[in-house]
Amino acid sequence: MNGGLLVAGTTSDAGKSVVTAGICRWLVRQGVKVAPFKAQNMSLNSFVTREGAEIGRAQAMQAQACRIEPTALMNPVLLKPGGEQSSQVVLLGKPVGEMSARGYHGGRQQRLLGTVLDCLAELRGQYDAVICEGAGSPAEINLRRTDIVNMGIARGARLPVLVVGDIDRGGVFASFFGTLALLSPEDQELVAGFLVNKFRGDVSLLEPGLDMLKRLTGRPAYGVLPFWHGLGIDEEDGLRVSLRGAVRESAVTPPLGADVLRVAVCAIPLMSNFTDVDALAAEPGVVVRFVDRPEELADADLVVVPGTRGTVRALRWLRERGLADALARRTAEHRPVLGVCGGFQILGEHIEDDVESRAGDVPGLGLLPVRVRFAREKTLTRPTGRALGEPVEGYEIHHGVAEVTGGEPFLDGCRVGQTWGTHWHGSLESDGFRRAFLREVAAAAGRRFVPAPDTSFAALREEQLDRLGDLIEQHADTDALWRLIESGAPQGLPFIPPGAPA
């Protein structure tokens, strides 16, 4: 078997990432050696592979679904927004510069098609099947000429295409039909069918619409996936919840002790790797919320200042909104604050940035004895160590180089009283370390909170991935899906006018 499939979507956030992961987990349970692939990803949630390459966290999660180590081949182009008009371009795991959207789509993107096709071909030579994820919609006709992630990669590698639609948003039948009808005849001949995602209710009520869709397009639905809570793992482009909504994986089980522990995460601009707090939300009795007002810090037992792609911009935002003063009051009152990566840099005394914001010398919040200088070369590592008497591992993605001038050592950073700072993402996924940290937070906050002794974040993640595999196995036409992956799009699929504009 040397199969492949492109999972496209009618929109962003239609469910492409989780469907791709689900298909990967279903295939690997059938004994298929499978790998994920996304030619181009725009995301502030990224991960560092063992060889020191930066890729999207969604592809790292999909690699875990395949039970393999992630590599740079699985996400050759990563775009990390730095504002409304520009992004850092990460090619094969290493940053190669900043570029405006106009500059990227004006020529650079199309020149990368050969690179991404080479990466896909290399993966297909190593694995029985490669399940590719598209981006946004393949019917973004303004971008089709330079597309390398949807129909561009499908045409280049002759991949069959499955279009996913989110029925929970409404308008899914029009979205399916319109997506197909805006593609050229050459693109349409690769679109094999559709997959309905996030359906609530009786599937029989949907069948007349699916039958009509097949009559209109000549293409079947490959399944109807029900709406399941708690599947939004390793988000790409933004928060699945509103700023005042609880984190999607907040545990519903009661606390072991008498109290819950309340965690407030400052929703700073260009927030990156906010998945760091998922491990906290997985603990019974820990409630995690994203906040953007100073009064929302008042009853929090722990405040987290997360990573950001715009440290100086986030620092200015904290000051403008009064959150900087609220953080200073917490520190003076010896109430727990944790800064991670960009958040760690913000808590320091001084920032010298001629790279990211080009703002030069900027005073930090002065809550930790740290001075930060931005280097042009990005640090991309997977460190391991011990803290609070427990083994811990994480990953680092940052341009800022921290000089720690005091305090107690804490991972690569420091702590002063109950204010903690580190560049390490993912450290809270180390179960023993997370429990030890939460015990310290609870003691400082005066909460009778007890961490669960048996919560395994890795096991919970595996359970989620198995649930995604179950969704595909139980609610998709897996025989038809298998034929599609193995043999490609059926021949003779009809063209649906009007097609792409000339």
Active site residues: 341, 425
Do the beta carbons of residue 485 and residue 129 sit within 8 Å?
yes
Do the beta carbons of residue 278 and residue 247 sit within 8 Å?
yes
Rg (CA), the chain: 23
Picking from 463, 417, 409, the residue whose alpha carbon sits closest to that of residue 440 is: 417
| Side-chain half-sphere CA neighbours of 459 within 13 A | 5
Neighbours of 358 (CB within 10 A): 9
Query: What's the sign of the alpha-carbon dihedral 33, 382, 314, 248?
Result: positive
3-state class (DSSP) for residue 435: helix
Do the beta carbons of residue 309 and residue 342 sit within 8 Å?
yes
Picking from 302, 311, 308, the residue whose alpha carbon sits closest to that of residue 335 is: 302
Pairing of strands 337-340, 302-305: parallel
Q: How far apart are CA 191 and CA 189, in angstroms?
A: 6
DSSP 103-138: HIIIIIHHHTHHHHHHHHHHHHHHSSEEEEE--S-T
Residue that the structure tokens 């993966």 belong to: 123
The strand pairing partners of 166, in sequence order, are 197
Phi, psi (rounded to 5 degrees) for 113: -60, -40
Neighbours of 373 (CB within 10 A): 16
3-state SS, 251-309, equals CCCCCCCCCCEEEEEECCCCEECHHHHHHHHCCCCEEEEEECCHHHHCCCCEEEECEEC
